[in-house]
Structure 1
Amino acid sequence: MIVDKVSGVEVVLPFDELTLAWPCLVGADVVRVERSENTTWLVGGPGGMFAVRRYRDGYVDMGSIRSELRLMQLAKDALPIEIPGVVPTRRGEEVLHCFDGLYVVFTLLPGEMATQSDIVAEASRIGEMAALLHRSGEDLDRTQQTRWSWDAAALTGEAPRWGSWQPAFAHEPRSYEIVAAAQGEVEAQMGVASRGESAYGLLHADLRAANLLVHEGALTGIIDFDDCGFGWYVYEAVASLSFYETSPDASRFLRGWLAGYAQVRVLSEESLALLPTLVIYRRLLLTAWLLGHPHVAVPGVDRYRFGIDTADLADRYLRDPYDIERLLAT
């Protein structure tokens, strides 16, 4: 039995079955347990260091996982930075169906998790890598993909991807009213936004600091493709701003990201005009995510302050849904 050091909950890792499938795990010890959408064990032993992921029941299916792994391989081939490799089982399979769920083993990359200052300094590079990733994703046949879409349904549909944001403002009626109005505008804007091939496609969708690796301040790797899905390409920039939307460096990061992206792919004025809408969209997704993940510590995030700042952003957005500089102004 293994205890998750974050939540204190005992979790079972079927090592007998896993080591039979992946001999490289023989003799490995659990170094750390991470729980978010899925559960990931970082293990190390004679065979090396690996990340063992168990996918959350109902979050993805086998086809969706295979699409994720395919995008990772395309990224590995196309990007001049590190992408985790998938370790095949002794039978050559990428995914193992154990008695308690679906497992994948990834190679563990060197480097440190990026900080806010890191992503600001490397904004242009992050934008460039995002563009290369998007170009790689175009090689996947959309009709064969089972990944979800980061569109209005993921926020307001019958089964919101990360749950509901509304309880966060249950005791703040004025803030609730403002945020609800902003959500309505977000739905309207996303409803008419182009989904043409130049504007909309397969994304990593979570290129925030926690999923970027750096060494001596330089971007060296991208991890955690488990939220990849279809969306507007500019959403990738917004996702990188996650939890830092009200930082004094937010506008600077966005300008750098867009400059780096433009070195590889062109974004239309229509796509750029969607940025403020996607900032609010992401902020509401994150509000729901925080509610559903009380056990996860997010560096630098005050959960109470996050709600206050979200309502302030929503109010600015309603005053002008197209002015990204005003929205991100501090």
Structure 2
Amino acid sequence: MSVSYRAFLLRLRKLAKIALSEYGLERAKLRFITYTGNGLYQVTVPPGNPIIPGKYTLRLHQPDYMTPQFIISEMEWLSALYQEGIMVPRPVRSLKEDWLTKADGGYDVPQTRECTLIGWTEGRLLNKRIRPKHFKALGRVIGRMHEQSRRWKRPKRFARPHWDWEGLYGDGFSYGVPATDAREAIPKAHQVAFNDVLNRIREVSEQMGKKKIVYGLIHADLGLTDNVAFHAGEARPFDFDDCGFGYWVFDFGVVLGQYFIDTNDASRTIQDALISGYEETADPEDIGIEYLNLFMAARIAQLMFFYQASGMAHPQHMEESKQGVNEHAKYLKKILKRIS
């Protein structure tokens, strides 16, 4: 069954209202933000409700992406980070004290959604006038998150994806098609560069192992112009939807790789600023900083794999996916020249 986009959004809003009732927030103001698989709403809670008045984010999670246990574990980590004083979105429990609720409108489209409520992230999103000081501020909070991750005793049944080689390019995380098929479908013009990065990452990963000094719970999707707000000189990460276990240095690779794609800037100045901020809150020694450029390439190759696999799983979006693969391949080849 298919419905128009307008009808889809009207139905999605009904699901959002059903979800809010699980928190006793029937009188809250609901404002649509975006739909990119997850449906996102800003919720303004007035006084006289079961939770503290203010702004919140309601997420209607994308079906068949993260499992319910993965989502619950994300909320548990957010809660632990928030309790440590790190300015991440504060997760909110339902009236039944659950991290996760379900909204069922009786529709085939959109289908039943898992829902979560978290605090709204105040601050400014950067899209211009980005300075080394912003990288330094982001480095500080990445260091704090890594340190918390090293010390934290995770709850029983805690589960998040692993962004190791299998998670990034294999069947450790599924985008709906066999990973081998997606890797082999990368255009021939990009196969040499793509496979070069995958082989290097496999080799370095085997050398590094997965001890706490190099590997742990990371955000895995931090871009300076995306998923970070700045307030009073402080970087405030949000959108932990892809958080999981990975190499600490991969968080650096994501930040710098995304910035390189956005601006064509991979200068030592911004790398040094990010590392300098990290050094204020965590010890970068032995985490693999010497492989920073390689992990930038690893991120770009991951995005190429994602676009290719997603296009194959959803043929109606194949043209857009092809553009994504080709665009990211240009930057992958530039980074490889730096490594070589």
Q: TM-score range by the shorter chain?
A: 0.7 to 0.9
Q: Which residue of structure 2 lines up, in the alignment, with residue 26 of structure 1? A: 27
Provide the C-alpha distance between the structure 1 equivalents of 2:17 and 2:79, rounded to a whole number of angstroms. 28
Q: Which residue of structure 2 lines up, in the alignment, with residue 158 of structure 1? A: 171
Q: Could you say if the C-alpha distance between residues 283 and 15 of structure 1 is closer, same or farther in structure 2, counting changes exceeding 3 Å?
A: closer
Q: Which residue of structure 2 lines up, in the alignment, with residue 264 of structure 1? A: 281
Aligned to 2:329, which of 307, 317, 327?
307
Match for 2:91: what amino acid?
V
Percent identity (aligned): 16
Matched, 1:226 2:226: no
Alpha-carbon distance, 1:114 to partner? 2.6
Q: Which residue of structure 2 lines up, in the alignment, with residue 322 of structure 1? A: none
Contact 2:256 2:266 in 1 (8 A): no
Deviations 1:50-106 (A, max 9, x none): 3111222332223322221122122212245x3212222222322113331311011
Alpha-carbon distance, 1:241 to partner? 1.9
Aligned to 1:96, which of 101, 110, 113?
101
Root-mean-square deviation over aligned CA pairs: 3.3
Aligned to 1:212, which of 206, 224, 228?
228
Alpha-carbon distance, 1:212 to partner? 0.7
Q: Which residue of structure 2 lines up, in the alignment, with residue 285 of structure 1? A: 302
Could you tell me which runs of 5 or more consecutive residues in structure 2 were left unpaired when the two chains were aligned: 47-52, 105-111, 312-316
Give me the TM-score of the superposition, normalised by structure 2: 0.77
Provide the C-alpha distance between the structure 2 equivalents of 1:20 and 1:143, rounded to a whole number of angstroms. 28
Match for 1:147: what amino acid?
R
Provide the C-alpha distance between the structure 1 equivalents of 2:299 and 2:217, rounded to a whole number of angstroms. 17
Contact 1:203 1:229 in 2 (8 A): yes
Alpha-carbon distance, 1:120 to partner? 3.5
Q: Which residue of structure 2 lines up, in the alignment, with residue 63 of structure 1? A: 69
Alpha-carbon distance, 1:195 to partner? 1.7
- The 3-state SS of whatever aligns with 2:40 is strand
Contact 1:50 1:108 in 2 (8 A): yes
Q: Which residue of structure 1 lines up, in the alignment, with residue 150 of structure 2? A: 138
Q: Name the stretch that deviates more: 218-227 or 16-25.
A: 16-25
Give me the TM-score of the superposition, normalised by structure 1: 0.79
Alpha-carbon distance, 1:250 to partner? 4.1
Q: Which residue of structure 1 lines up, in the alignment, with residue 141 of structure 2? A: 129
Match for 2:69: what amino acid?
G
Q: Which residue of structure 2 lines up, in the alignment, with residue 198 of structure 1? A: 213
Q: Could you say if the C-alpha distance between residues 206 and 3 of structure 1 is closer, same or farther in structure 2, counting changes exceeding 3 Å?
A: farther
Contact 1:198 1:267 in 2 (8 A): no
Deviations 1:256-286 (A, max 9, x none): 1111212222223461223233112111112
Alpha-carbon distance, 1:137 to partner? 1.6
Provide the C-alpha distance between the structure 2 equivalents of 1:244 and 1:140, rounded to a whole number of angstroms. 30
Match for 1:41: what amino acid?
Y
Q: Could you say if the C-alpha distance between residues 270 and 227 of structure 1 is closer, same or farther in structure 2, counting changes exceeding 3 Å?
A: closer
Q: Name the stretch that deviates more: 302-311 or 71-80.
A: 302-311
Could you tell me which runs of 5 or more consecutive residues in structure 1 were left unpaired when the two chains were aligned: 320-330
Contact 2:253 2:298 in 1 (8 A): no
Match for 1:22: what amino acid?
Y
Provide the C-alpha distance between the structure 1 equivalents of 2:336 and 2:183, rounded to a whole number of angstroms. 14
Contact 1:79 1:129 in 2 (8 A): no
Provide the C-alpha distance between the structure 2 equivalents of 1:63 and 1:231, rounded to a whole number of angstroms. 18
